[in-house]
Amino acid sequence: MSKKKYVKDSEVTMTEMVLPNDTNTLNNLMGGKLMHWMDVVAAISAQRHSNSIVVTASADSISFKNPIALGNVVTLKAQVTRAFNTSMEVYIEVFAEDIPANSKITTHRAFFTFVAVDEGGKPVKVPELVPETENETELFEGALRRRQLRLILGKRMDPQDATELKSLFDFGDSNK
């Protein structure tokens, strides 16, 4: 396994059409169906980076900015933004396209976290990620802060140990 990989190596684009069975009573794409598609595209991206089986560890809050209508073409784009020891953060963007109206909008953005595992489900190391573009570097640099926030919210890290988030928390002066 290579020690380093590039963001472009993990890029995935998936396209789906919203069919009647995918919609709610308002003829918009059901949120659960979209989350399923997001999980699939992000998992493929994480697998491409790690060359391993991956499991979903977390999905950051997904806000439903714009509805996606029946008949729209949905494009989901995913890429690994940072690799840690055994986990990877994946960024997903979702676009809805109304082809007859010639319009395309961004509807959702989210970060998912995956852990690479072996056949027995035991975590395995993942290659280092090397960002190349300005956008890739910005996402890469923010990933550690997002990771620490996830760990704090999941009660897996004490806020005082969050080196990248210290400015967001007021711990007081410990010398007083």
Instruction: Please provide the average confidence, as pLDDT, over all residues in the chain.
Output: 90
pLDDT, tens only, 107-159: 999 999 999 999 999 999 999 999 999 999 999 998 888 887 777 667 765 66
Of the chain, the end-to-end C-alpha distance in Å amounts to 51
What's the pLDDT score for residue 2?
Answer: 53
Q: Which residues contact 175 (CB under 8 A, 6 or more apart)?
A: none
Q: pLDDT band for position 176 (50/70/90)? A: very low
In the chain, domain spans: 4-132
Q: What is the dihedral of CA 50, 118, 147, 154, to 10 degrees?
A: 160
The answer to whether the beta carbons of residues 82 and 88 sit under 8 Å apart is yes
The average pLDDT across 159-167 equals: 63
Instruction: Determine how many CB atoms are found less than 10 A away from the CB of residue 91.
Output: 24
pLDDT, tens only, 6-37: 999 999 999 999 999 999 999 999 999 999 99
Between 64 and 5, whose confidence is greater?
Answer: 5
Residue 12 half-sphere exposure toward CB, CA atoms < 13 A? 23
Rounded to whole angstroms, how far apart are CA atoms 34 and 150? Answer: 22
Q: Which residues contact 85 (CB under 8 A, 6 or more apart)?
A: 125, 126
Q: pLDDT band for position 3 (50/70/90)? A: confident
What's the pLDDT score for residue 159?
Answer: 64
Distance (Å) of CA 74 to CA 11, 69, 85, 89, 141? 17, 10, 33, 22, 29
pLDDT, tens only, 35-77: 999 999 999 999 999 999 999 999 987 878 899 999 999 999 9
Q: What is the pTM of this model?
A: 0.87
Q: Which residues contact 115 (CB under 8 A, 6 or more apart)?
A: 54, 55, 57, 86, 87, 88, 123
Question: Looking at the domain that runs over 4-132, which CATH code has it been given?
Answer: 3.10.129.10
